[in-house]
Copies of this chain bind each other. A is one copy, B any other.
Amino acid sequence: MIKVAINGYGTIGKRVADAVRAQPDMEVLGVAKTRPNFEAETAIDKGFPLYAAIEEREDQFAAAGLDIAGPVAELVDAADIVVDATPSGIGAENKSLYEEYDTPALYQGGEDAALVDTSFNARSNFGDAVDADHVRVVSCNTTGLSRAIAPLREAFGVEKVRATLVRRGGDPGQTSRGPINDILPDPVTIPSHHGPDVETIFDDLDIDTLGMKVPATLMHMHSLNVTLEEAVDAAEVRDLFADESRLFLIPKHMSIDGSGKLKEYALDAGRPRGDIWENAVWEESISTVGRDLYLFQGIHQESDVVPENVDAIRAVTGSADAEESIQTTNEALGIGL
């Protein structure tokens, strides 16, 4: 069993903890948090040993009636690998801790690509992370783009990618974010950081991305254009995507018109937290005009990187190859079944 420490138990960390626990070859050694809140309560309720990410704050947990197993350094020392799911920029600050205890670490997409040995998407470059010490699981949007681009590159060749990312303003729990009733170019300057970030996965890819923010919390929506190296029928792309376990093709007969119904479908299906780990590609939207492919895909910002973190654990620990890991993760979570 791979002993996994999870440093940061917020939106991503708590989902990774549950996903790791569901795997047949991993266990959650403990989770670390900076302060007591409803998530810390839940961690205790779920039986995850809770560590204080900041030792001086152990008192705060005690005052809240939450038992602390110890300081985060103990957890890091005992683990085979750490998943750092702290807010952007904190992962970089934590790197020296992981190095001190010689524990390999995963970081999230908010960290700089230069921090790590390689950036990671299971479908696209699993092999690059094998036996690496510091690996960055790319952001939700970069993950979503990479999953769609990888099979297209292999099957048809990609000349250029142009994508407009219409991003949710904040997650449902992020009550101080906006916009309200507005559509913001964000960033106003072009390209957005997403294009260069996808190039950390495919270093020879030509991609331009534009970002916006809108008053929605449920999912991002991508308007994706891929100029292929050959003219392809839309049906060929649909067939290609249907074979990809982490691309969910929304069939027309489901009458799912947006993120709201998608989430409702996931909740009806009994998925934890209504998570949508796959890219949600509207099958009807897949269209080709000559060599230009177009489609819409919904990206669940809170969860699509979760299976990627699980696979990255296996890559870094050298415990499975890409195909075996992806299949194990999918089966354990219920992806593509």
Binding site for B on A (CB under 8 A): 162, 164, 166, 168, 179, 181-186, 188-191, 208, 210, 212, 214-221, 223, 225, 257-260, 282, 284-285, 287, 289, 292, 294-296, 298
Residue numbers in B under 8 Å from A188 (CB-CB) = 257, 282, 284-285, 296
Q: Which residues of B contact A218 (CB under 8 A)?
A: 181-183
Q: How many copies does the complex hold?
A: 2
With A and B bound together, what is the CA distance between A164 and B182 in angstroms?
Answer: 16
Contacts A162-B162, A164-B164, A210-B296: A285 and B185 contacting too (C-beta < 8 A)? yes
* A166 pairs with B190, CB closer than 8 A: no
Q: Chain B residue with minimal CB distance to A181?
A: B216
Residue of A182, A186, A259, A285 contacting most chain B CB atoms (<10 Å): A182
Pair B181/A260 contact, Cβ less than 8 Å: yes
Query: Looking at the complex, which one of B189, B212, B258 makes contact with A284 (CB distance below 8 Å)?
Result: B189
Among B182, B190, B223, B257, point to the contact of A210 (Cβ < 8 A): B223
Contact A190 B259 (CB under 8 A): no
Which of B181, B184, B223, B294 meets A212, CB within 8 Å? Answer: B223
In the complex, the answer to whether B212 meets A166 with C-beta atoms within 8 Å is: yes
Going nearest first, the 7 A-B pairs with the smallest beta carbon separation are A185-B296, A164-B223, A183-B221, A184-B258, A190-B287, A164-B164, A214-B214
A185 contact from B189, B216, B221, Cβ within 8 A: B221
**Most central of A183, A225, A292 by chain B CB within 10 Å:** A183
A173 to chain B, nearest CB (A): 14
Residue of B nearest to A183 (CB): B221
Query: Complex formed: what's the CA distance from A183 to B191 in Å?
Result: 22
* Residues in B whose Cβ lies below 8 Å from that of A257: 184-186, 188
B contact residues around A287 at 8 Å (CB): 189-191
**What residue of chain B has the Cβ atom nearest to residue A223's Cβ?**
B164
CA A212 to CA B164, docked complex, whole Å: 11
Tell me, rounded to whole Å, the shortest Cβ–Cβ distance linking A274 to chain B: 14
Complex contacts, A298 vs chain B, CB 8 Å: 183
Complex CA gap A86/B152 in Å reads 46
Interface centre among A212, A295, A296 (most CB of B within 10 A): A296
Q: Are B214 and A215 in contact (CB under 8 A)?
A: yes
> Which residues of B have CB within 8 Å of A190?
285, 287, 294-296
Q: Are B296 and A181 in contact (CB under 8 A)?
A: no
- Which residue in chain B gives the minimum CB-CB distance to A214? B214
Query: How far is the CB of A290 from the nearest CB of chain B, in Å?
Result: 9
A-B contact pairs, 11 of them (CB 8 A): A179-B258, A181-B260, A183-B221, A185-B296, A188-B257, A188-B284, A190-B287, A208-B289, A214-B215, A215-B215, A215-B216
Are B294 and A215 touching (Cβ within 8 A)? no
Q: What CA separation (Å) do A298 and B215 show in the bound complex?
A: 16
B210 and A294 contact, CB distance less than 8 A: yes
- Best-surrounded residue of A166, A188, A189, A295 (most CB of chain B within 10 A): A188
- Residue of B with least CB distance to A172: B181
User: Smallest CB–CB gap between A246 and chain B, Å?
Assistant: 20
Closest to A189 in B: B284
**A292 with B208: in contact, given A184-B257, A215-B216 (CB under 8 Å)?**
yes
